[in-house]
Amino acid sequence: MTISAALQAPEWVSSGATITGGLDLLGLRLPVQAIGGTLLDGVTTVTPSVRYLAFRAWLIRRYGQRGGADSLDAFTDFAARVESALVLGNLLENPSIGGLIGSDQALERLALGNTTIPIASLVKSPASTIYTGPSDQLGISKSRDNAVPALVMERGLPLANALDQRLTAIPLIERLVRDDDLREASLDELREIGSEVRIDRIPDDERELLLAAIMPSAPRPIERNRISTYAALLALATQLKSAPSEGQFFDAASSANRFGEPLVDQVADGWATYCVRDAIAVTQEGVLAGVMGEILAQPDGGLSGVDMTVVIEALMERIEEHDSALRDLNLLSSGESVADLTFRALEERLRLRLFVPGAASGVVRWSDRLVEPLLYRRALKSGAGALTLAVVAWVMAALRVGDAVREDKHGYLSLSHQGRRRQGMREVVLPELARFHREDRPLREVAAEMAVRTVQQHLQITWSRLQVDLRRDVALLTAEGNKWFARRKSFVAGRTASRIQQALGWLHQLRLIDANGITADGSVVLQRALTTLAKGGAT
């Protein structure tokens, strides 16, 4: 088997850095996150409770009224103390309430059984900090460098006033606002806060104000994708007659029928490009996991190094894992083997059997159930088969969005986010696929070459992070000459965390969906969103 000498990784240079953890060890999740951010802002993967937006707006208003220093640090200290009382009170009401920032530390304080509980920050980053981005993006607040955030009159102030009607009647809240030296509260005082202000129960007036920010009837241009995404989730809940899962959302976005609603079809195309990039990231993480598994399987755990050719060839010789992965995708019949395929043969099977041409929007669709989520779900459990699936992911990406990238169509620049450094579609994927097509080598050789490229990608990301912080070393392995040396005991491939799961949580909290699908209120909000989108055409 030939592995291109052009992909030989430079030797490792020890910096003396401390080995640290990291998730995106190939740097390929960043383009996925960039696409997700353009399609769904106003929520992140760490903002589980939508009512915190109202609470943060109220904190900004009350801090301004008390006349504190115009300092972000001073505001954050103030907010953290009041937030701790909110969390403690909610947990006293119901210890199983989810979505509270700092609940672990709060439960530890309560478990001591004392009659008074310390009122102090529960976490390094309180909710007032974590929810800053969503609050600003939803037009509720505006950040002011190192000064106290400002409320936006149209959306933030009404939200703060609605919550103020409930909080001003609670004596402990008023004491916390006035007295910076108040350090403890009784269980009864905290329980009163929890009974009056549950993070998981949103009164109707607050709910309407939150919805007006999340899905406004007069949106700014940058808000239309967000409205379309929430409308797509509601439309999917209507079709399924149950609460959709994140997986069902991505399956629908990638499928030929999309969400079955023309007004949100374009955002479905956007989420399909998200899945395209995620499939590339996931399959190559699967490759890296396979490489690490082979190195660690050595008698000394790979500490003395393993010839990289030996590692790759051992992975490629696990034929049944490759065959099984392709058969699961209906790309290989029961009597065939990956060893029988050339690159062009794979390419043609994808093009002729599964490819539906003629997508004016730039994203083509597959004629059967082969979608990127199916590909990366398979890659996470395929073992050595991930090496072949990484090639499949590249070919599927080129067939689905290659023309849009070549034509510089608007909205597809994120597919090449940070260019060559992140294996951009324009800079790396399309040119390399063109070379593979010209050469038409056995598929196993192409997979082997891409596996070496994956290791090189990991080392490049490791080196770039060391340049930023010499104390941080995220390397799973090192390369010296033709040998790879293990530096960690394991690596598990995974997916990019999306915001869809949190968005679904918000829809539940806002009572727009439930276990039976869309609610009556959800249907009203969906129709309102579609009317908004229709005024300006598709997103």
Q: How far is CA 126 from CA 24, 83, 89, 183, 533, in A?
A: 25, 8, 16, 17, 35
Does residue 29 surpass a pLDDT of 70? yes
Does residue 158 form part of some domain?
yes
Domain limits for position 72: 52-201
pLDDT at 490: 80
pLDDT at 413: 85
Q: Using CA atoms, how far apart are residues 124 and 3, in angstroms rounded to an integer?
A: 48
Count how many domains the chain has: 1
pLDDT digits (tens, 9 = 90+) for 79-121: 999 999 999 999 999 999 999 999 999 999 999 999 999 999 9
pLDDT at 17: 39
Q: Using CA atoms, how far apart are residues 347 and 351, in angstroms rounded to an integer?
A: 6
**Nearest Cα residue to 486 out of 309, 287, 308, 301:** 301
pLDDT at 409: 82
Does residue 148 surpass a pLDDT of 90? yes
Does residue 64 form part of some domain?
yes
Please indicate whether residue 203 or residue 539 has the higher confidence score (pLDDT): 203
Does residue 338 surpass a pLDDT of 80? yes
Give the pLDDT band (50/70/90) at residue 357: low
Does residue 149 form part of some domain?
yes
Q: Encoding tokens for residue 284? A: 């190559």
Does residue 97 form part of some domain?
yes
Does residue 111 form part of some domain?
yes
Does residue 305 surpass a pLDDT of 80? yes
Question: What mean pLDDT is predicted for residues 450-459?
Answer: 96
Give the pLDDT band (50/70/90) at residue 465: confident
Does residue 343 surpass a pLDDT of 80? yes
Give the pLDDT band (50/70/90) at residue 359: low
Least confident of 61-75, 283-297, 401-415, 435-449: 401-415
pLDDT at 11: 46
CB-CB contact of 345 with 443 (8 Å): yes
List residues bridging with 150 in a β-sheet.
142
Could you list the beta-strand ranges (E) of 357-490.
Answer: 365-366, 472-473, 477-480, 483-486
Q: Looking at residue 263, what DSSP letter applies?
A: G
Percentage of the chain lying above the pLDDT 70 cut: 94
Does residue 73 form part of some domain?
yes
SS3 of 13, please? coil
Q: Encoding tokens for residue 140? A: 């509720």
Does residue 363 form part of some domain?
no
Does residue 369 surpass a pLDDT of 60? yes
Residue indicated by tokens 């196993």: 444
Does residue 18 surpass a pLDDT of 90? no
Does residue 326 form part of some domain?
no
pLDDT at 358: 53
pLDDT at 20: 40
pLDDT at 360: 59
Does residue 293 surpass a pLDDT of 50? yes
Does residue 147 surpass a pLDDT of 90? yes
Helices and strands of the chain, counted as H and E runs: 22, 13
